[in-house]
Amino acid sequence: MLIIACISGHGYGHGSRVAALLGALHRLEPQCRFLLSTPLPKAFLQQAFAAIPHQHRNCCWDVGVVQADALGSDPAATLQALEALEPLLANQVELEAQAISAMLLLGEKAVVLADVAPAAVLLAERLALPLVWQANFGWDAIYQELGGELVDWAKRCNGLYRRGTALLECPFCLEMDWGLPRCQIGLSAGVPRLSPDELRQRMGWDFAKQKTAMLSFGGMGFPLDRKLLERWPDWGFFVAEPELALAANARLLPHDLRPLDLLPICGVVITKPGYSTFCEALGQGIGVIAVERQGFAEAEVLLEGLRNHGWHRCLSRGSFLRGEWQLDEPLIPPAKGPLAPGGEIEAARYLLKFLT
């Protein structure tokens, strides 16, 4: 059984979500083979998919949204990138189809899993394979919201999404009117690799859990003055940027650990609205301080879900940049109950229906 995962290069969240699903699938069916078709960096893939035997082909299937920084989008650059990618896709589909056909064993079943690049359906059609989307939004909704010339791209994306076979609908979702059978799943997240005691010993960490924060802004990071961390001397911070790690109360995330791996000794995550980070934090019972994100339609849906299902605080960009993080104030309780965990297992079982 071969799973061809076409993963958006837009951000690490898509890769983390696929890693959670494929990890669950590997545990259920260890004989499954996995091909990752994505432009995501090798270092990230080796970290996120460390527990999953896989092959990688460096292919770009979508643009997503070009970001000005971790909190803002650049519609003009997004349009340029879409126009640059479009004429390359036909040749890429042909080359990848030939390579994958050579990989397939005689009589072996296969499925394309896409998160959530529209052009992946072109590869699936060329290989005559079913395609299952995994998504809490499509680029059609994002481009429609951005407006202007991107509206035509929204229509094009919607047409491609409709040519898929089925949809794994994740929590915190925008409308995905694609006319496909769908399976709604719960929170999908990976599993931390180390226990709290192992983490404390390895990191030499003395801060209490309730005084430890993970500062995480995805693959782009976010430029901050380390003095903002030192405004909170009673708190310890795990950070991904070497400059921030120079703060007296900060520690750099080790290269072989994911942010998820350190969550068992964290009390809160400070982050932008992002699907995988929210799922990982809520799945570990950890609060979230979310910084507003402009020009991305998914952000408000994510924040609404956070308000409903997690202990939280929402900060303006200005408050965040001034260091006004209100860490000395209790988080706001959720308006509703927690979301059911285990979405990655539900998704894996659904995907197996196309392979057996």
Q: What is the pLDDT of residues 88-122, one digit of tens each?
A: 999 999 999 999 999 999 999 999 999 999 999 99
Domain 2-189+343-352 has CATH 3.40.50.720: no
Q: Residues spanned by CATH 3.40.50.2000 within the chain?
A: 2-189+343-352, 196-321
40-55 pLDDT, tens digit each? 999 999 999 998 999 9
- Cis peptide leading into 288, omega within 30 of 0? no
Select from 3.40.50.2000, 3.40.50.280, 3.40.50.880, 3.40.50.150 the CATH code of 196-321.
3.40.50.2000
Residue type, 28: L
Distance, CA of 96 to CA of 329 (rounded, Å): 53
Please identify which residue in the block is written with the tokens 């958006």.
8
Q: Find the farthest-apart pair of alpha carbons in the chain and give their distance in angstroms, rounded.
A: 62
Which segments of 245-355 are extended strands (E)?
250-252, 268-271, 287-291, 312-315
Tokens for 159, please give them.
Answer: 């047409």
Q: What is the pLDDT along the chain (356 residues), one digit of tens a residue?
A: 999 999 999 889 899 999 999 999 999 999 999 999 999 999 999 999 998 999 999 999 999 999 766 566 899 999 999 999 999 999 999 999 999 999 999 999 999 999 999 999 999 999 999 999 999 999 999 999 999 999 999 999 999 999 999 999 999 999 999 999 999 999 998 889 999 999 999 999 999 999 999 999 875 567 789 999 999 999 999 999 999 999 999 999 998 999 999 999 999 999 999 999 999 999 999 999 999 987 677 889 999 999 999 999 999 999 999 999 999 999 999 999 999 999 999 999 999 999 98
Distance, CA of 338 to CA of 308 (rounded, Å): 8
pTM summary value: 0.92
Distance, CA of 138 to CA of 161 (rounded, Å): 8
Is the distance from CB of 169 to CB of 185 less than 8 angstroms? yes
